[in-house]
Amino acid sequence: MLKKVSVALAITTALWSNSAHSQELNALVWCDHTDDALIKPFEEKHGVTVNLKEYEGTGAALSLIEQSQPGDWDVLVIDGVDVPRAVSAGILGELPTDQLPYDSLFPELVMEENHVIDGKTYAISEKFGYNTVSFNKDKVSQEDLADMTKLWSGDFSGQLAVYDYYLPVMGMLAVGLGKETANLTMDDLPEIEEALLALKDSAASVGEVVASQTAIATGEVDILVGGGEWVTAGLTATNPELDWMIPDQGAVRWSQSIGVFADSKQPDLALEFVKHVLSPEGQAALATSSCYWAMPANSAAGDMLTDGQKTALRWDQQSEYLAKAQLYPAPDSELDAAMQDVWTRFLAR
């Protein structure tokens, strides 16, 4: 009898806890949005449950959205350069700019060319950083890496890993070859591919976010091509030998944007979530996420970060870095397909 009562109690408790927040918000996000420090305050304030689905790469997000019913999703986090793609596919709805913290956004992160289409704003930057070079300063000096072309010269054979994402790495190599990421064409691909394949010959491994971090943190490699503060900033306490730098030729700047789905059934709540992520508290939590650290788009987050955190993020050097970095390439569909073909050949080599 006692056992039956206990079971009934457990089921009732589970049902009650599941229904404690009857309203749910569904967000399609990168892994840095899953910390309780970011999500719990919003859930508690609004009495809702936020369901998060992680993805990596815009293709994966589009695939998930295609397989969903209209209204399934409320909030989307997406690469800044892919916002126009999402808008043209009718995925994102318009955002009310007067309710968002544009006054304190880093000016370079406003990115009207990506976020504003036909006079309407569809997304806002929330976090940014660089795809550049992370390295173990006990093994390699900053001077050794000043010239980016050395990465694929064979000088570091077996010492480097490559971040497995075609856009930033190919963009970075394009910068190293003296090209502008915004103006890449099909004619640029043979030269980029040649450098990329030479890079593969020197690479010990190619891996996604966690594998890349693990490779350099465990000493498996000394250099991570495509790395940056997102790899090393969160590891400074345990791995002080890890550092990152921008080579003389420059680097690629990545940025994440956040928006509300056009067919969200609860656009007001979704907008509240966007405002929460863009708030100084939300931005500080996002910047120091356990998945990866990076600069918040809202400069007001500086008040919420400790000096140590700001040092790890190189808060005071951002103006210099922003000047040296170019945006991710934003290829049209034909160039994008060709770039992915090149990347497949790189992986198969």
Partner 1 sequence: MSQTAATSLETAERRRAIALAAPAFLWTLGFFVLPFAIMFVLSFWQRTDEGLVASWTLENYRTFFGETAYLEAALNSIEITLAVTFFSVLLAYPLAWIIAEELPARYRRLALAMAIIPFWTSYVVRSYAWTLLLAKRGVINTWLSDWGLPVLDLANSRIATVTGFTHFFTMLLVLTIYASLVQMPPNLKRAAADLGAGPFATFRHVILPLTMPGIAVGAFITFAICIGDYVTPQILGGGNDLALPQLIMLQVGRRADLPMAATLSIILMIFVTIAYLATARYMKVEGR
Query: In the range 220-249, which residues lie near partner 1 by CB under 8 A?
Result: 220
Nearest to 101 by CA among 302, 274, 307, 286: 274
Report if residue 152 touches partner 1, rule: CB under 8 A.
no
Cβ closest to partner 1, residue 64 vs residue 291: 64
Cβ closest to partner 1, residue 128 vs residue 346: 346
| Other C-beta atoms lying within 10 Å of the C-beta of residue 291 | 16
User: Which region among 28-36, 107-115, 135-143, 155-163 touches partner 1 (by CB under 8 A)?
Assistant: 155-163
Cβ closest to partner 1, residue 188 vs residue 222: 222
Alpha helices in the chain (DSSP H): 2-18, 36-46, 58-66, 83-88, 112-115, 166-176, 189-202, 209-217, 229-232, 267-278, 280-287, 307-313, 318-324, 333-348
User: Which region among 53-61, 168-176, 238-246, 291-299 touches partner 1 (by CB under 8 A)?
Assistant: 53-61
User: Which region among 206-214, 259-267, 270-278, 305-313 touches partner 1 (by CB under 8 A)?
Assistant: 206-214
Cβ closest to partner 1, residue 58 vs residue 149: 58
Report if residue 186 touches partner 1, rule: CB under 8 A.
no
Count CA within 13 A, CB hemisphere, residue 129. Answer: 27
Q: CB–CB of 299/128 below 8 Å?
A: no
Q: CB–CB of 199/173 below 8 Å?
A: yes
| Least distance between partner 1 and beta carbon 214 (Å) | 9
Cβ closest to partner 1, residue 122 vs residue 166: 166
Cβ closest to partner 1, residue 237 vs residue 348: 348
Could you tell me if residue 345 is left (phi over 0), alpha (psi between -120 and 50 degrees) or otherwise beta?
alpha
Report if residue 157 touches partner 1, rule: CB under 8 A.
no
CA dist., res. 149 & res. 84, Å (int): 32
| Other C-beta atoms lying within 10 Å of the C-beta of residue 294 | 25
| Least distance between partner 1 and beta carbon 5 (Å) | 34
Report if residue 345 touches partner 1, rule: CB under 8 A.
yes
Report if residue 166 touches partner 1, rule: CB under 8 A.
yes
Cβ closest to partner 1, residue 19 vs residue 67: 67
Burial of residue 325 (CB within 10 Å: 0-12, 13-18, 19+) is: buried
Cβ closest to partner 1, residue 8 vs residue 186: 186
Report if residue 218 touches partner 1, rule: CB under 8 A.
yes
Report if residue 59 touches partner 1, rule: CB under 8 A.
yes
DSSP string of 66-101? HTSPTTS--EEEEEGGGHHHHHHTT-BPP--GGGS-
Length of the chain in terms of residues written: 349
Report if residue 148 touches partner 1, rule: CB under 8 A.
no
DSSP string of 28-42? EE-GGG--HHHHHHH
CA dist., res. 116 & res. 96, Å (int): 12
Among 5, 66, 98, 319, binds partner 1 (CB under 8 A): 66
What does the binding site for partner 1 look like in residue numbers (CB under 8 A)?
56-57, 59-60, 62-63, 66, 158, 161-162, 164, 166, 203-207, 211, 215, 218-220, 333, 337, 340-341, 344-345, 347-348
